[in-house]
Amino acid sequence: MEPGDILSEDTKSVIEQMDIFFNSRSIAVVGASRMTGKVGHIIFRNLADNRRRGIYEGEIYPINPNEESILGYRCYPNLKKIGEEVELIVIAVPARIVPSIMEDAEEKGVKAAVIISSGFSEIGENELEERVKAIAVRAGIRVLGPNCLGVYDSYTGVDMLFLPETKTLSNRNVVIATPRPTPGNIAIVTQSGAFGAAAVDHLAGQEMGLSKLISFGNKVDVAEAEVLLYLLHDDKTKVILLYIEGITEGREFVEVARLVTRHKPVIALKAGRTEAGARAALSHTGAIAGSDRIFDGLFKQVGILRARNMEGFFDMAEALALQPPATGRNIAIVTDAGGPGIMAADECEALGLNVRRFSDETLRRFEALREEGKIPSFATYQNPVDLTGVVTSEMYELSTRILLEDRDVHGIIVLGLHHTPHLTEDFTDRIAKLSSVYRKPIVGCDIGETEMAMYIRSRFNKLGIPAYSSPEDAAYAMVALVRYGLYLSKRGYM
Amino acid sequence: MEPGDILSEDTKSVIEQMDIFFNSRSIAVVGASRMTGKVGHIIFRNLADNRRRGIYEGEIYPINPNEESILGYRCYPNLKKIGEEVELIVIAVPARIVPSIMEDAEEKGVKAAVIISSGFSEIGENELEERVKAIAVRAGIRVLGPNCLGVYDSYTGVDMLFLPETKTLSNRNVVIATPRPTPGNIAIVTQSGAFGAAAVDHLAGQEMGLSKLISFGNKVDVAEAEVLLYLLHDDKTKVILLYIEGITEGREFVEVARLVTRHKPVIALKAGRTEAGARAALSHTGAIAGSDRIFDGLFKQVGILRARNMEGFFDMAEALALQPPATGRNIAIVTDAGGPGIMAADECEALGLNVRRFSDETLRRFEALREEGKIPSFATYQNPVDLTGVVTSEMYELSTRILLEDRDVHGIIVLGLHHTPHLTEDFTDRIAKLSSVYRKPIVGCDIGETEMAMYIRSRFNKLGIPAYSSPEDAAYAMVALVRYGLYLSKRGYM
């Protein structure tokens, strides 16, 4: 079944409601401001900029009783004064006046609200939060937040990121502080706004594209399950990253997660896995972390891949965004550097993958290459295949082809350390070309933090081969492809 | 006891012998060449360049029977024709003629030889290797290699790195391929030459300075123990990184390692920890990896810190190069981002550190700051201290000072996510200034891969605070400081 085939009325309704957050025809920014640095200024400006560029195609309205106009847009004293329909509002005013804004929104017939404002249950103002919630429920307004970073959609131009895009250092140099990633196919769903901003910064720097970012904050209404369901049906999203500290709606989450992971990989970074972490989570978002083992079991049961840490979270995403899942655990390693080959083999085995001696047929094919002088006489190929320091691009191509054609090999790690004298950058192109022919995952690695290493990794990535800066990171990325593949095949989905 | 106080005659003799590799008055390059790209050209050129710059201060002699001169230096047909003393030779000729070179060296009275050439036991030519070894023993010539990358000393200008410093891409752009790190206080001792080159590339890009690199290759003579002993007495080296696949001289190694770790931290990356890895190590350097648990026990016993992977290896080095060891396991975390604070707490506890509620006295001091309005009313400080998105540099300074003054806190992780609107880069300076007053380790973290994140991390590093790109990496760096501190205090060395 493809996710879009037959949708229940309930699902259709959820998708329509969630769609307002990303794709609304009209947005009012309550608390819009002329003053630089103010949240209500930055958000309104993001939208105005994107509208001028033709990225955001809807209407936008600034709401502020003290201004006539903001950035050339007529300013309204309140929502009710707008003559046209308003689908979505973004609220960036002090917490205590949020209830009255919600009442205006009810009267105006607004469909959804993003409450950026903080000062609710996260600081003990539970009663205020309950009042907001009650109005929303009564009015049928779907609410994201409060105390959140809102939404960023790289395709529709809805951009509520209110953190400064640039900062000015004391030497008056301007530097990028909160960048915007390019459009891509990774969605981020996060309970922590700060982590959302950090994630965006990481993705942008790593040249990984983003489809959408959604930050929940206090979750008075919209939470994980509905967003996951929406992302399942979002054509722009291929991989979903989920940062959570706890889950409020267990049963619904399980049901939706199981459905989503059948079609798209979901990777979770669950914080609060130790006693100290759980205590911190409790004081951060009030999440009751529960036993970490319960989450482990839950994730496994519904096919969510759990990342071991922040770096693994992004590394897994990159692998799943670019490569197909593996159909088994047998991994081949090809390298020009013995030591790093061992490091990759160690990490694979430590994480439950197999790095086995190849089949006789494959060994014969390598032996033939050696006899023809196409790989060095002192190359070894028991797995890892070590082409040694005299490696050329052609040797990588010939070896990778043999491994792609070996049915007992389910995934390939290509360690291409560029330091060897004869290796030219076209080995990445050769491997990518092979990769496009065979449906078997390949991940790459080059070690180093100077020009050529970064160039090789970037080139690999652009060609669709996720590439990492250490052998262990490459192995961990392969683990994601294997785990997802095994989940799908165990359930008969692949 | 300081390492230099009283030296036995044996130790003095080892130090003198090893010193020839790094600090010789005269070097002959056997197999020096005029031809670009040849190993014998690159090594001779490195030395000639460094001599011209005044970095290498000794004499250099090219040896090649087919040339009159190389790079303006008179070329000799063989070692014996050189009228002056030659302390060290670098051999870059085909394996089969290495024995005759060694015989010349014996006649000439050379003290030490680095055999770069490969084609010995690593490809089954054991008999050839034995012949070389026999000559060396007979002549009393200390030998590094064969099949190695030799030596790089960033202070004396001895540079045998023969991998191309730059490469030219197909678009004719020239890029740095094997960079040279700046002088620093980290030494790398490696069994794998390829990993040595990769390590140099990593360090250079991370702006981590290097004192010396030593690559062993097949280890016919010089191995870990003597080099460690030498580095113990090397003023330029503060931290020693050791990449190994196996150890050949167990008892000597244990004895020396125990002595060295008392004065300088040694971090090991031991590859071949799984069955597949051990098999690969066997075919790579012939290392019999043995049970991994034996190595674990051995390292603990002698105070060597074992890194879990390549990234951890360098992260630990950076921490130990910049910060003092911790005197206990209690870690305080201060953050402006709740989620990443939890992630750091999780990783600390998972790795055996404590992230405990602070003492009543410290809580009172934070409470007082809150009452004075110097930190936000909604800040939390149960550990982590969460200063929230309204954080300023001053809040970081005030909070860090309280934690430095708490005797029950042994180390501090400062997560300074720059995305928050009011945080300016001078928070790094304020923390570094505090750090210089108190003898308690601090590590930093900022998340992101674009301009400001990289600037903050780099600024922290330059100010002596090791800074990492994920909360878990920062926690892992703190683990190194704690483990080393606990080893030293358990043995009464601190």
Q: Indicate the fold that domain A9-319 takes in CATH.
A: Rossmann fold (3.40.50)
Residues 328-367 of B with CB under 8 A from A: 336-343, 345-350, 354-356
- Provide the strand spans (E) within A173-330: 174-176, 183-190, 210-215, 239-244, 266-270, 305-306
Edge-first strand order for the sheet with A266-270 is A151-153, A210-215, A183-190, A239-244, A266-270, A305-306
pTM: 0.95
Three-state DSSP class for residue B240: strand
Candidates 3.40.50.200, 1.10.8.60, 3.40.50.261, 3.65.10.10; CATH matching B325-490: 3.40.50.261
Facing residue for B201 by CB, picked from A194, A202, A447: A447
Place of tokens 């290509």: A414
Structure tokens at B28: 């002959």
| The pLDDT of residue B471 | 98
Give the number of other Cβ atoms within 10 Å of residue B61's Cβ: 24
Residues 113-152 of A with CB under 8 A from B: 118-119, 122-123
Give the number of other Cβ atoms within 10 Å of residue B435's Cβ: 23
Beta bridge partners of A340: none
Question: Which chain A residues are within 8 Å of B426, Cβ to Cβ?
Answer: 170
Residues 6-35 of B with CB under 8 A from A: none
* Interface touch B201/A449, C-beta < 8 Å: yes
Q: Quick one: which H or E segment has residue B381?
A: strand B380-381
| The pLDDT of residue B291 | 79
The length of chain A in residues reads 494
Place of tokens 């999780």: B346
* Interface touch A245/B272, C-beta < 8 Å: no
CB B386 within 8 A of CB B395: no
- The maximal CA–CA distance of chain A, rounded, in angstroms, is 83
Q: What are phi and psi of B456, to 5 degrees?
A: -60, -45
Facing residue for B345 by CB, picked from A123, A280, A336: A280
Question: Which chain A residues are within 8 Å of B332, Cβ to Cβ?
Answer: none
Looking at residues B281-291, what average pLDDT do you find? Answer: 70
Q: What is the pLDDT of residues B109-147, one digit of tens each?
A: 999 999 999 999 988 899 999 999 999 999 999 999 999
Q: What is the pLDDT of residues A376-395, one digit of tens each?
A: 998 999 999 999 999 999 99
Looking at residues B467-482, what average pLDDT do you find? Answer: 98
pLDDT bin (cut points 50, 70, 90) of residue A1 is: very low
pLDDT bin (cut points 50, 70, 90) of residue B303 is: very high
Angle at A353 between CA A349 and CA A357, to 5 degrees: 80
Q: What is the pLDDT of residues A278-289, one digit of tens each?
A: 888 877 766 665
Work out the minimum CA distance from A125 to partner chain B, whole angstroms.
11
Q: Decide if pLDDT at B249 tops 80.
A: no
pLDDT bin (cut points 50, 70, 90) of residue B179 is: very high
* Interface touch B194/A340, C-beta < 8 Å: yes
Q: Which of B273, B342, B425 to mutate to test the interface with A (most CBs of A within 10 A)?
A: B342
Structure tokens at A141: 């307004």
Q: Decide if pLDDT at A2 tops 70.
A: no
DSSP 8-state class, residue A422: T
* Interface touch B339/A450, C-beta < 8 Å: no
Facing residue for B204 by CB, picked from A193, A357, A450: A450
The amino acid present at A352, given as its one-letter code, is: G
Q: Which residues of B83-104 are buried (b: 16+ CB within 10 A; e: fewer)?
A: eeebbbbbbbbebeebbebbbb
The sign one gets for the Cα dihedral B273, B279, B280, B286 is: positive
Residue B357 to residues B328, B336, B361, B382, B409, Cα–Cα distance (Å): 15, 18, 11, 5, 10
The verdict on A417 touching B (C-beta cutoff 8 Å) is: yes
Report the alpha-carbon distance of residue A263 to residue A302 in Å, rounded.
Answer: 12
Nearest to B408, CA basis, from B451, B442, B361? B361
Q: What are phi and psi of B115, to 5 degrees?
A: -100, 100
Facing residue for B176 by CB, picked from A176, A285, A452: A452
Work out the minimum CA distance from A379 to partner chain B, whole angstroms.
9
Q: What is the pLDDT of residues B423-454, one digit of tens each?
A: 999 999 999 999 999 999 999 999 999 999 99
Facing residue for A345 by CB, picked from B269, B277, B285: B277
Work out the minimum CA distance from B366 to partner chain A, whole angstroms.
16
pLDDT bin (cut points 50, 70, 90) of residue B289 is: low
Q: Decide if pLDDT at A320 tops 90.
A: yes
Looking at residues A86-115, what average pLDDT do you find? Answer: 98
The sign one gets for the Cα dihedral B117, B121, B125, B128 is: positive
Report the alpha-carbon distance of residue A49 to residue A450 in Å, rounded.
Answer: 36
Q: What are phi and psi of A140, to 5 degrees?
A: 70, 30
Work out the minimum CA distance from A179 to partner chain B, whole angstroms.
7
Q: Quick one: which H or E segment has residue A332?
A: strand A331-335
| The pLDDT of residue A285 | 67
Nearest to B94, CA basis, from B74, B60, B123? B123
pLDDT bin (cut points 50, 70, 90) of residue A143 is: very high
Residues 372-411 of A with CB under 8 A from B: 377-378, 380, 382-384, 386, 389
Place of tokens 């001779």: B44
| The pLDDT of residue A280 | 85
CB B215 within 8 A of CB B193: yes
CB A268 within 8 A of CB A292: no
DSSP 8-state class, residue A37: T
| The pLDDT of residue A169 | 93
Residues 50-109 of A with CB under 8 A from B: none
Radius of gyration of chain A measured on its C-alpha atoms: 25
* Interface touch A277/B339, C-beta < 8 Å: no
Q: Decide if pLDDT at B305 tops 70.
A: yes
Looking at residues B410-432, what average pLDDT do you find? Answer: 97
DSSP 8-state class, residue B359: P
CB A43 within 8 A of CB A90: yes
Report the alpha-carbon distance of residue B385 to residue B355 in Å, rounded.
Answer: 11
Place of tokens 């550190």: B353
Nearest to A120, CA basis, from A130, A135, A112? A130
Facing residue for B450 by CB, picked from A176, A380, A418: A176
DSSP 8-state class, residue A80: G
Q: Decide if pLDDT at B207 tops 70.
A: yes
Report the alpha-carbon distance of residue B358 to residue B346 in Å, rounded.
Answer: 17
Report the alpha-carbon distance of residue A395 to residue A378 in Å, rounded.
Answer: 13
Three-state DSSP class for residue A176: strand
Q: Which of A342, A381, A427, A452 to mutate to test the interface with B (most CBs of B within 10 A)?
A: A342
CB B217 within 8 A of CB A388: no
Three-state DSSP class for residue B61: strand
Q: What is the pLDDT of residues A230-252, one digit of tens each?
A: 999 999 999 999 999 888 778 89
The amino acid present at B41, given as its one-letter code, is: H
pLDDT bin (cut points 50, 70, 90) of residue A8 is: confident
Q: Helix A471-490 to helix A310-322 angle, to the nearest 10 degrees? A: 60
Nearest to A454, CA basis, from B370, B177, B281, B23? B177
Same topology between domain B9-319 and domain B325-490 = yes
| The pLDDT of residue A182 | 93
Facing residue for B176 by CB, picked from A198, A277, A450: A450
Question: Searching chain A, which residue's CA lies closest to the CA of residue B314?
Answer: A470
Q: Which of B331, B343, B386, B413 to mutate to test the interface with A (most CBs of A within 10 A)?
A: B343
Q: Domain map of chain B by residue range? A: 9-319, 325-490
Q: How far is residue A227 CA from its own chain's centroid? A: 14
Structure tokens at A376: 């060095």
Average pLDDT, chain A: 95
Question: Searching chain B, which residue's CA lies closest to the CA of residue A121?
Answer: B378
* Interface touch B348/A276, C-beta < 8 Å: yes
Report the alpha-carbon distance of residue A369 to residue B416 in Å, rounded.
Answer: 53
| Percent of chain B at pLDDT exceeding 70 | 98
Question: Searching chain A, which residue's CA lies closest to the CA of residue B190?
Answer: A339
Nearest to A464, CA basis, from A223, A136, A165, A238? A238
- DSSP output for A343-392: HHHHHHHHTT-B-PPPPHHHHHHHHHHHHTTSS-TT-EESSSEE--TT--
Question: Which chain A residues are within 8 Å of B336, Cβ to Cβ?
Answer: 194
| The pLDDT of residue B3 | 57
DSSP 8-state class, residue A97: G
Question: Which chain B residues are within 8 Å of A355, Cβ to Cβ?
Answer: 276-277, 280
Average pLDDT, chain B: 95
Residues 6+ apart with CB under 8 A from B330: B353, B354, B355, B356, B408, B409, B410, B411
Question: Which chain A residues are within 8 Å of B280, Cβ to Cβ?
Answer: 338, 341-342, 345, 355, 382-384, 386
Q: How far is residue A20 CA from its own chain's centroid? A: 21
| The pLDDT of residue B281 | 83
Report the alpha-carbon distance of residue B227 to residue B222 in Å, rounded.
Answer: 8
Residues 266-325 of A with CB under 8 A from B: 269, 271-277, 279-281, 283-285, 309-311
B425-428 contacts, C-beta under 8 A, 24 or more apart: B425/A169, B425/A170, B425/B455, B425/B456, B425/B459, B426/A170, B426/B393, B427/B392, B427/B393, B427/B396, B427/B397, B428/B456, B428/B459, B428/B460, B428/B463, B428/B465
* Interface touch B342/A272, C-beta < 8 Å: yes
| The pLDDT of residue B320 | 98
The verdict on A448 touching B (C-beta cutoff 8 Å) is: yes
Q: What are phi and psi of B407, to 5 degrees?
A: -65, -20
Which of A355 and B247 is assigned the larger pLDDT? A355
* Interface touch B455/A341, C-beta < 8 Å: no
Residues 6+ apart with CB under 8 A from A348: A331, A333, A354, A355, A413, A475, A478, A479, B276
Work out the minimum CA distance from A8 to partner chain B, whole angstroms.
36
Report the alpha-carbon distance of residue B154 to residue B212 in Å, rounded.
Answer: 6
Q: What is the pLDDT of residues B355-400, one digit of tens each?
A: 999 999 999 999 999 999 999 998 999 999 999 999 999 999 999 9
Work out the minimum CA distance from A10 to partner chain B, whole angstroms.
33
